Amino acid sequence: MAAFALSACSTDTPQSVLQPQGEFARKADALWDITFAIAIAVFVVVQGLLLYAIFRYRHKPGREAAQFHGNTRLEIAMTIIPALILLGLAVPTVATVFDLAAEPTGADVIHISVEGRQFWWRYDYTDLDIVTANELHIPTGQPIDLSIEGYDVNHSFWVPRLGGTQDVVPGRTSRLTLEADDPGTYLGQCKEFCGLSHSNMNLRVIAHDPGDFEQWVSDQQEPAAAPSDSLAAEGAELFVNGAADAQFAGGPSCASCHAIEGLDGAVGIIGPNLTHFAARNTFAGAIFQNNESNLRAWLANPPERKPGSQMPNLQLTTGQIDALVAYLQTLE
């Protein structure tokens, strides 16, 4: 039991459900606190009774077992007392269930459509005309209305410190409300087993002060800047049309799966929207830091870096990788 106390104090547990950082996670945590206290009390009493009975009545020469078959009053009491305790738990539980299920209202509520895909997250800020991936940016201090949509297989959206879990079921739309108290980065993960890289389907929620969030929104709404140097321009060309050499030509180009606003022809919808790729801290299911070496390794062989990745190994040459990395890094 000391372990529970320990874990609640430690600061290096970024996914702990015991350290809620938002209204909706706190409501669940409040219920947990009550339940856990009752459970511990019941545990101590019942386990104590069991151990006491075993040691008090262990066999000694001369001890005779009392021959009784039951005790009706006691048995009725043993049925009613747990039932009452549970009833006591049921009332706040049901109240919180309905509380959490209520859709947040108001003009300033931000609606985001969240789609879980093998193995990354797509976010569509329906009112703001922003599409991004894996890193969800939200303002602090206000409820965020997430509409959770299915795509290929079941996933489950979960940011433990900010709120509960919502399964992603293909063909269904569900809701989840999140709220963050303070600015910061909150880790989350896909929770429903979804295939080879289920473990690699992470996500982050980045909460900003409302003012910073406004800034982020207006940055995101800008189309991508035109490539600044020739290497980046070559990368952009490669991105849309693929390379002229044998392996890449005629096959898929980056743009068949990825979109970049402002780059003609890059309108793919299968992979993440890369318009502001360089502004993201992580990529590929939020498992890699977004830096040059990780990006190079990724482009060289995605399925090796992330098993089961839908992005195939395109057999890129070092030169092609140079150009693509240069271009991607301009996408601030």
Query: HSE (CB half, 13 Å, CA atoms) of 203?
Result: 30
Query: DSSP string covering 281-312, please?
Result: SEETTTTEE-SHHHHHHHHH-HHHHSTT-SS-
Q: Does 154 bind another protein (CB under 8 A)?
A: yes
Of 309, 302, 303, residue with least CA distance to 324: 302
Nearer residue to another protein within complex by CB, 90 or 249: 90
Nearer residue to another protein within complex by CB, 170 or 251: 170
The one among 9, 37, 50, 226 contacting another protein by CB under 8 A: 50
Residues 6 or more apart whose CB falls under 8 angstroms from that of 163 comprise 22, 24, 25, 28, 176, 177, 178, 179
Nearer residue to another protein within complex by CB, 31 or 225: 31
Nearer residue to another protein within complex by CB, 119 or 327: 119
CB of 91 to another protein, least distance (A): 10
Q: Are 201 and 189 in contact (CB under 8 A)?
A: yes
Stretch that binds another protein, among 64-72, 216-224, 271-279, 296-304 (CB under 8 A): 64-72
Query: DSSP string covering 173-238, please?
Result: EEEEEE--SSSEEEEEE--S--STTGGG-EEEEEEE-HHHHHHHHHHHHSPPPPP-SHHHHHHHHH
CB of 227 to another protein, least distance (A): 30
Q: Does 170 bind another protein (CB under 8 A)?
A: yes
Q: Does 244 bind another protein (CB under 8 A)?
A: no
CB of 89 to another protein, least distance (A): 6
C-alpha 87, offset from chain centre: 33
CB of 142 to another protein, least distance (A): 20
User: Residues 283-312 vs another protein: string with x where CB under 8 A?
Assistant: ------------------------xx----
The sign one gets for the Cα dihedral 187, 191, 197, 201 is negative
CB of 165 to another protein, least distance (A): 4
Stretch that binds another protein, among 150-158, 204-212, 234-242, 257-265 (CB under 8 A): 150-158
Of 214, 215, 207, residue with least CA distance to 22: 207
Total site size for another protein, rule CB under 8 A: 96
Query: Which residue in the block uniquely carries the two structure tokens 């430690």?
Result: 10
Q: Does 250 bind another protein (CB under 8 A)?
A: no
For another protein, the binding residues in 252-281 under the rule CB under 8 A are 269-270
For another protein, the binding residues in 81-120 under the rule CB under 8 A are 82-83, 86, 89-90, 93-94, 96-98, 100-101
Q: Does 152 bind another protein (CB under 8 A)?
A: yes
Quote the CA–CA distance of 166 and 200 in Å, as a whole number.
18
| 39, 40, 44, 50: CA torsion to nearest 10 | 40
